[in-house]
Amino acid sequence: MSVAATNKKAIVKFAPRGNDSFYDTIKLRVKEYFETSNISQNANTKMRIKTAVMISLYVVPYILIVTGLASFNAWFFIGLWLVMGLGIVGIGASVMHDSNHGSYSTNKHVNSFLGSLLNYLGGYALNWRIQHNVLHHTYTNLEGLDEDIDPGILLRLSPNKKRLGIHRFQYIYAWFLYSLMNLFWVTAKDYRLLFRYHRNDLLRKEKTTLRKALIELSIFKILYFAYALVLPIMFSGMHWPLVVLGFVLMHLVGGLALACIFQPAHVVETSEFPIAVDGKIENNWAVHQLLNTTNFCPESTITSWFIGGLNYQIEHHLFPEVCHVHYPELSKIVHKTAQEYGLPYQVLPTFAHALWEHGKMLKYLGTKESALAV
């Protein structure tokens, strides 16, 4: 696979797959699975029910807040904002995520509509598709290309990034910074990303211009703050500081939860973080995904249900076009095939174990100069 990087002059090439490759084999086996099972690789009835539940987690508390029905008790009022934070996680990880990958439905309009829900949660779907679909999924754990491992100067999430003195404490303060992620995104980050993607000629590939995207983004931001903050201040019947507190807490919950879902899948000690030599990566793209992705708590049906199957990150990275409800079955195919090819298939048994391993990696990256990269 050959792909353009975030810089027009930078090209990274993965090694060719070769004949009878691991990727060819699992693609064939997954295709056979869907054909012999006579099921669609897209959303099913359970997924559609989940969609309604996740959206309700956000919409129902909001209605109670904005209509003043929650004004009888401050604790209940704040609790509703926290539930909305869980709604953001549920919609983001389950509904919006699949839709923006095109895996929710065969109907592009359905995918577009559900993917655009992000615009009404304070984000911007166009930016998300570039950062996540294009950069993260293609260049997983490649320094300077995968923006998921470059959240800013205060965090070192790659052994190939310069270590600063403050990083030795990052295993302590990273969790607080993770909680701020959503607040940063809904305020400043989307604008910064748009200018960066314009400079790197990535907006053109989304068939838009900087001017058009800035106008669209600004309209969405105005609408978002109008309904999510201004209307509750005006009509909730609660004092405005309590409304602002609830709004902030909602995003703190959402930011921390989403970071805890995504980071343990890639930033752990088993990840390789390779360096391109002369613009080339030693392994082919599919093997690279195996070496830089980790599953966790596969036995937890509840966890898998709520976080959109993102505990099956290996399957998601190899088959992002498949709806996450199918990942548990696909994992059996991928695991078996990886064993046949002598490739690693990393799995952490529980969510707590995954967070612990990520914390250990944060401490390692904060104290060690030597790179893990190969």
What is the residue type of 208?
T
Q: Going by C-beta distance under 8 Å and a sequence separation of 6 or more, which residues neighbour residue 193?
A: 124, 127, 130, 131
| Residue ranges with strand state E in 242-334 | 280-281, 295-296
Q: Rounded to whole angstroms, how far apart are CA atoms 263 and 175?
A: 11
Q: Rounded to whole angstroms, how far apart are CA atoms 95 and 98?
A: 6
* Tokens standing for residue 12: 């990274």
The per-residue pLDDT for 76 is 97
The per-residue pLDDT for 259 is 96
CA torsion through residues 41, 321, 182, 261, sign: positive
User: Which residue, among 159, 148, 223, has the nearest Cα to 189 in the 3D structure?
Assistant: 148
CA distances from 7 to 135, 317, 324 (A): 11, 23, 31
Q: Rounded to whole angstroms, how far apart are CA atoms 216 and 209?
A: 11
Q: What is the pLDDT of residues 153-187, one digit of tens each?
A: 999 999 999 999 999 999 999 999 999 999 999 99
The per-residue pLDDT for 372 is 47
The per-residue pLDDT for 19 is 62
289: left (phi over 0), alpha (psi -120 to 50) or beta: alpha
Digit-by-digit pLDDT tens for the chain (374 residues) are: 334 444 444 578 888 876 668 999 999 999 999 999 999 999 999 999 999 999 999 999 999 999 999 999 999 999 999 999 999 999 999 999 999 999 999 999 999 999 999 999 999 999 999 999 999 999 999 999 999 999 999 999 999 999 999 999 999 999 999 999 999 999 999 999 999 999 999 999 889 999 999 999 999 999 999 999 999 999 999 999 999 999 999 999 999 999 999 999 999 999 999 998 888 898 999 999 999 999 999 999 999 999 999 999 999 999 999 999 999 999 999 999 999 999 999 999 999 999 999 999 999 999 987 654 44
User: Which residue, among 292, 261, 251, 252, has the nearest Cα to 374 in the 3D structure?
Assistant: 292
Give the DSSP letter string of 156-207.
--STTSPP-GGGGGHHHHHHHHHHTHHHHIIIIIHHHHHHHHHHTT-TGGGT
The per-residue pLDDT for 333 is 97
The per-residue pLDDT for 16 is 84
Strands 11-14 and 2-4: antiparallel
The per-residue pLDDT for 278 is 85
CA torsion through residues 160, 166, 171, 174, sign: negative
151: left (phi over 0), alpha (psi -120 to 50) or beta: alpha
| Contact yes or no for 131/147 (Cβ under 8 A) | yes
Any idea where the domains of the chain sit in the sequence?
2-367
Q: What is the pLDDT of residues 285-297, one digit of tens each?
A: 999 999 999 999 9
CA distances from 56 to 97, 134, 153 (A): 17, 30, 37
The per-residue pLDDT for 10 is 55
Q: Rounded to whole angstroms, how far apart are CA atoms 117 and 136?
A: 21
Q: Going by C-beta distance under 8 Å and a sequence separation of 6 or more, which residues neighbour residue 247?
A: 81, 228, 229, 232
The per-residue pLDDT for 15 is 84
Q: Rounded to whole angstroms, how far apart are CA atoms 359 and 336?
A: 29
Q: How many CB atoms lie within 10 A of CB 50?
A: 20
pTM: predicted TM-score of the whole model, two decimal places: 0.92
Q: Which residues pair with 12 in a beta bridge?
A: 3
